[in-house]
């Protein structure tokens, strides 16, 4: 199966909504994607194609730090990533994550944060240990809260509390 990963286009929106709804078994992630777009809180999003059809999607949104430290790193949140159920476990998600991290590096982002499966993300370089010093709103997340530094020392400069885009609906966060 040949997978092509590219920037998501407005024409992909219906397919992306369907993929997120099918992959997660409910519409919350599709609604999150729409809310992030409507609020202007998308750094970038990518689509995976197979045989001309969109089969996967990944979205990255900027994270803020409050209070914002001097020399603050440029941080991204990876969420959500979704693959059409009939295409899962075929490398689509991995291709999306690798392409997304590559683009993040190219665009000069310093680190990526993810709240995800603790067995899925470490092969891409994410670790709970890298996120251990971050002040974040997920105390119950344990090893599912992970980070990946894209530039050396970036997370050491991440003083302050991580603030996610309002669309995530995390109590107490405001940008």
CA distances from 66 to 26, 70, 154 (A): 32, 11, 16
The per-residue pLDDT for range 92-137, each reduced to its tens digit, is 999 999 999 999 999 999 999 999 999 999 999 999 999 988 999 9
Q: Distance (Å, rounded) from C-alpha 100 to C-alpha 28? A: 22
The answer on pLDDT for 90 being more than 90 is yes
Calculate the CA dihedral of residues 52, 13, 78, 137 and round it to 10 degrees.
-160
**Are 155 and 133 spatial neighbours (Cβ–Cβ below 8 Å)?**
yes
In the chain, where the domains are located: 4-166
What pLDDT, on the 0 to 100 scale, is given for residue 1? 62
The answer on pLDDT for 174 being more than 70 is no
pTM listed for this prediction: 0.94
Q: How many CA atoms lie within 13 A of 94 on its CB side?
A: 10
CA distances from 128 to 21, 68, 81, 146 (A): 28, 23, 19, 4
CATH number for the region 4-166 comes to 3.40.630.30
Q: Distance (Å, rounded) from C-alpha 19 to C-alpha 113? A: 22
Mean pLDDT of the chain: 94
């Amino acid at each position: 199966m040949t997978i092509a990963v590219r920037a998501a286009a407005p024409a992909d929106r219906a397919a992306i909504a369907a993929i997120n709804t099918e992959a997660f078994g409910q519409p919350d992630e599709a609604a999150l994607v729409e809310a992030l777009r409507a609020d202007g809180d998308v750094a970038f999003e990518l689509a995976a194609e197979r045989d001309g059809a969109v089969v996967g999607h990944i979205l990255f949104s900027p994270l803020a730090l409050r209070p914002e430290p001097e020399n603050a790193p440029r941080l991204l949140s990876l969420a959500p990533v979704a693959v059409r159920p009939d295409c899962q476990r075929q490398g689509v998600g991995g291709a999306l994550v690798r392409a997304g991290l590559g683009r993040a590096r190219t665009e000069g982002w310093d680190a990526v944060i993810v709240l995800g499966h603790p067995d899925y993300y470490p092969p891409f370089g994410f670790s709970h240990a890298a996120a251990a010093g971050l002040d974040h709103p997920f105390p119950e997340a344990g090893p599912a809260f992970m980070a990946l530094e894209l530039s050396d020392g970036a997370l050491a400069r991440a003083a302050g509390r991580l603030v996610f885009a309002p669309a995530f609906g995390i109590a107490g966060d405001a940008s």
